[in-house]
Structure 1
């Protein structure tokens, strides 16, 4: 219930509201606001006939008309005039403009009031209630309603205007013709802080007014309120209110100010009104954004200069693996700059190979692609060769994902450097040691020496037999007796005691000759076997010295057997049992045969020498017998071969796992530390991996090699002569 100044109570009115606005979104917003206030939207339309030709059943009590600047304002005002003429209802303008021309047009329709289109719904409710109370509606029988049912208009309008004035979110100051403040609403009091906003002198004492640049003082005669008192309207001027001392605040206030003259019925200017909206947050945020943008731009410029001047190549890709940055050094190193071609074509375009120089890197293994997939790549060596870099370059690549603040991968970055010179130096060192073949040669010479010793022993046996043979002396004595009794041979054999011993002597001599013959045949066979073994070792080593890098299909089992054959003599002397299991491995593989065999020999020799070190500690396991096992099988990863060379030798301290493949690392007094280093170079250069496995000293070890299986390249069919 509402109470008038006379003390009468009357029910709060609820009415039917006609909403007119050119913007469908604004119509929807106003409709929700009106409905939320308990009223009914009888019709909603855009300015024009659709808003005027309302059916009688939808007759409104109040028309709420959206007012915008420009040509649309004219059409809205015309529509309002026709609605007022047809239905005789009050007009309320919901405005979003302070354009003086638009407001002047609206004022000619004698509206009941104005509200801000996006303002406080309470203001809208107060204005609509006032308009409804001012409406004299026809009763259902065609008679006018009793005037006593209506609130006394002067008192009611005064209460409505006062409520609207104090509930406005914008600050409003009204001054008379002499510039004295006659009305200040609550928002203006909040804006002024502890100072009396009705005293203009206090404003000037505590605040300075500047234009938007914050440096130019705003001329007093140009202030919106001053202009309004002169009878001029001012629309949406931007001011900066600066405190004169700390007591008035420390930060500038940004205000949007609109001034309107107050006129009497005769048009004489009685004073002016200024509406102030605090927009400090907007400019402050804009200024901060500009500062941040400037700082960011400066940092980007510095970062760009650093990246461009770096000697290392830097490439960046987005989450879709599209290049977004390719610095000059990157283009200089790989010969080709940034491309918009998809990653599937990068390997062929740039010519990216593993460090062996012949195995192409699959798309999903390219460092940038791996980084985009969330992986980190460290010190990966690759070989790049294309038409711009025909001799090729070796590069060392580090790559990592680029993540957002929430941890989502939004791209990847790769940094690489040209390590060709370093690689050449390493290869020169490796070549100086014959790619680790000194280890193999030492093994070969050792085994050949063992075989030659065996041959020499056999030859000495034969030589000794022929030079000083008891059977030959016995044959000589027999010949002498036969010659001495040539004239009485028969009688001597029959009657002489010595002659009668000839027969048993001959039988024993034949028996002894047969035994010696068997020994000689065995010795000769062993000599022949040793000689053949020497030939096999030399032939195998000759294949190792083949420097070609071409891959070919080889029989895996036969290749492992050949490697075992090289160290077989040494294994036999040590009593080492060796087992080879290739049941789960492919029959053939495409590989650089000589380097693959060399790697196997180095691993076998390492395993054999590990059993030597363990044999020197018999107290650890009295019943211990040396064993080596070679196990080859398909890896869990697609297209991989795993070869485990395990032994029950001395084992490896896990703290040394990271060093066992370094050049020069050895635990033997006479070791060179090149065998495992050479093996690791071949494996890693082929795109594979090698790792030591051991439970520690005294528990044996396994060296696990994982190689990528590469399919044999298929010959491309010529398209020449193909029929259409």
Structure 2
């Protein structure tokens, strides 16, 4: 079969016009002076204006043509149509159109070509452009999602390194005491002290694992406290009875009703993390205070204070973020720390609809305060035996 294509020269002008009118891309034609002689419907829709009667110097104001990402007008000499009239071919030139018809702005990608006669003389220029606003927005969202994914991956790698680092010390203590008990000729007291130390660091490791799991559960909104009657005085004494506080002067004071309804495991671990924080940042053998007060309305205020350098006021929210732990007194992040303990504290306290914050201890140190809503079941209660 022979070709049935119609030669371009014999195509009716009405057919060519209909084809241009139907295109989704904007098409604009100009004569050699830069005056627009044709603009298809897509061009008028994208630009939000009918064709301009003015010269290129007036287009910035008429169409509202800006450099992308700025409020600066697009330079006339940079228009693809003007460059095409000078004999230059362009493509992928991005311009921002913003006027009353498109107040949010439309980002367009423009290509321009000179139109020459049979002798190569430039008789005019043509530009083709399309709206790429949706495309660029999607690309920006994908880029942001990629950055978030990379950040999460980095945090995951850091978390693994931090956990290994933090577990190394307790595991070394456990192994050393076990080897000593196995081969050394120890007195009963020495053996008991070693066993107590093993139990203490074992509890620390156990709490680290539980904190990590509860942080994940809490951030998903699935951490549900199992409330029961707890005695704050007895709970605080149980937190401070471990061997890790040997040599420290610990003061415990309670006022008001002593019993509230709360999750004993979560509250115990919150206080354990805060006490550990005092040991890490306070002076060796220093003083640690634990105070609690329960109002008649059932809200409990618990304070844990130390004699360390305190926390700078501009960093008192940062320390409750995941993976963040600061060198107190310097405001610098400390390398090799998981920074999960205080993050867990906030999640556990907020799961009780409570709040936790840090302020200055007078005359020095940090004072962590925990406010828990609860319902006291007795006005006064003696500690259980």
Instruction: Report the TM-score when normalising by structure 2.
Output: 0.42
For CA contacts below 8 A with separation 6 or more, give which structure has more relative contact order.
2
Rg: which structure is higher?
1
